[in-house]
Amino acid sequence: MAKSSQKYTTDADADLLAELGIDTAPAPTAQRTPREERIIAGFEEIERFVEEQGRLPQHGEDRDIFERLYAVRLDRLRESAECRELLQPLDTQGLLDATADPSPPPADQDDADLLADLGLDVTAEDDITRLTHVRSRQEIKAAEEVAQRTPCADFKQFKPRFKQVQADLDTGQRQTLKYQDNAAVNPGDWFILDGHKILVADMGEPFISDYGRQDRRLRVIYDNGTESDLLLRSLQRALNKDKTSRRITNPDLGPLFSSTPAEDDVLTGSIYVLRSQSDDPFIAKHREVIHKIGVTSGDVKKRIANAKKDPTYLLAEVEVVAEYKLVGIDGKKLETMLHHFFDSARLDVELQDRFGIPVKPREWFFLTLSVIDTAVEKVLAGTLDEFYFDRETMSLQPQTT
């Protein structure tokens, strides 16, 4: 269908997506068997270890027994075709294919002996599918809530800030926005996670984990007087998984965007973000990172009703993945500003209209939804001019003076 340029089809595409932690796996719809649930639960324990420690579990007698357990379990999961097929869609960290621990299990023990020592009862009949000492996913989640949080010793200094945030929400000075997948997290940011207001109080220096991804250690304060030092990627994953998670806006942002405008506010349109449903090979391969940024003064659904007949929409159906209502804002000027800001990521696509005339749509960009959302947040805060778009890392970077 569409003749697509290879401008953005470099070998770095896959690495960029992995670096950004994009989870493109569809949510499982089939009912899991008890055995499959236990395999998944066992794998999630390994994922939590990697998130907390920033490295793969390793073998060795000097290692904690649980780390040795996870190292052996990961080896077995990698070796089992059945387990790989089950876990591959859930493996957002790439653990099944990550570089293996160079330290092998002790030579004087076979796999069964070591597994037995580590509390894993594995029989020859069904191998890794019988992890009898793996807790259920419900048990893990409950234990995780306790393990990851500790009492906040200096909560007195944070308590007034939580009260003020709630007061700002009550008066409308702050708003809550849906958290977009893997969107930016910065010191001082406020979120709602699992029904709790949380504050990112501090952020450590960036480091590269053993599996090659940049991460940071955070100090996160919860409204119930607890805190945790989880990793940045762990917080993003938690916000992604919680379908009710929200970002709490800054009270000084003003009414640029609003999902529930006041009665005296004047709606001037919407900025919308679309994702193409085209079956063109290039579009299909990169669907999660190809988006159209547009503006309309009317209803978005009506605007895209005939998308499959319009070259502007790549002659295919489209999905609305984000929409921002504009209040008293010139939508065309804002659209132009965003298009200019992301110009280096503009998609070079050429196709023919129904009369055979070549058309090159200019509103499609090779961008993740999270970086678009981050740019909108900066516009909302009036600080977009303090940043530039770095195509290599697919992220916003502060301007240098």
pLDDT, one tens digit per residue, over 93-142 is 888 887 654 555 444 444 455 455 444 444 444 444 445 445 555 555 44
pLDDT at residue 333 in the model: 80
- In the block, which residue shows the tokens 């909560």? 155
335: nearest Cα among 299, 294, 383: 294
How far, in Å, CA of 109 to CA of 119, rounded? Answer: 15
Measuring CA to CA, how many Å separate 378 from each of 329, 381, 387, 389, 396?
A: 15, 5, 9, 12, 10
Edge to edge, what strands does the sheet with 150-151 contain?
150-151, 226-228, 218-222, 196-203, 190-193, 246-248, 176-178
- Sequence letter at residue 231: L
Residue numbers of the chain with a pLDDT score lower than 70? 1-30, 99-148, 180-183, 209-212, 251-268, 327-328, 351-357, 381-382, 400-401
CA angle 199/202/206 to nearest 5° reads 125
pLDDT at residue 5 in the model: 38
What is the DSSP pairing of strand 218-222 with strand 196-203?
antiparallel
Q: Which residues fall within 8 angstroms of residue 25, CB to CB, at 6 or more apart?
A: 89, 90, 92
Alpha helix segments (H runs only) across 148-277: 155-171, 232-241
pLDDT at residue 155 in the model: 92
How far, in Å, CA of 168 to CA of 64, rounded? Answer: 46
- Sequence letter at residue 84: R
The string of DSSP codes covering 321-377 is: EEEEEEES--HHHHHHHHHHHTGGGB--EEEE-TTS-EE--SSEEE--HHHHHHHHH
pLDDT at residue 352 in the model: 66
- Sequence letter at residue 205: E
Mean pLDDT of the chain: 75
202: helix, coil or strand?
A: strand
68: nearest Cα among 36, 13, 114: 114
Q: In this predicted model, what pLDDT tens digit does every residue of 58-88 receive, in sequence order?
A: 887 777 777 788 888 888 888 888 888 888 8
pLDDT at residue 167 in the model: 86
pLDDT at residue 124 in the model: 40
pLDDT at residue 19 in the model: 59
How far, in Å, CA of 372 to CA of 45, rounded? Answer: 32
pLDDT at residue 7 in the model: 38
pLDDT at residue 300 in the model: 86
Task: Write down the domain spans for the chain.
Answer: 31-141, 149-248, 267-398
Are 256 and 326 in contact by the 8 Å Cβ rule? The answer is yes
